[in-house]
Amino acid sequence: MSAINTVNHYLVRYRNLSGETHEDCVYASDAMEARDLACEFHAELRQRPNLINAILRVS
């Protein structure tokens, strides 16, 4: 029997180099995957993943 991975909705909040706050919504199995997806979508985060302020699971 195969395991079922539940996918949750996550809000990834980050700042750009100008200090402006941005938010992205992604579907991921956990917060680390949400972080990886956000980094994959944005070159700025790929270079500086510490710009991420919060990863929040949304109901």
pLDDT tens across 45-54, in order?
999 999 999 9
The pTM is what? 0.85
- CA–CA distance, 16 with 5 (Å, rounded to integer): 32
One DSSP character per residue, 2-44 reads PPPPP-EEEEEEEE-TTS-EEEEEEEESSHHHHHHHHHHH-HH
Q: Identify the band that residue 2 occupies on the pLDDT scale cut at 50, 70 and 90.
A: low
pLDDT at 5: 75
Q: What angle do CA 21, 14, 24 make, to 5 degrees?
A: 90
Mean per-residue pLDDT, 39-44: 94
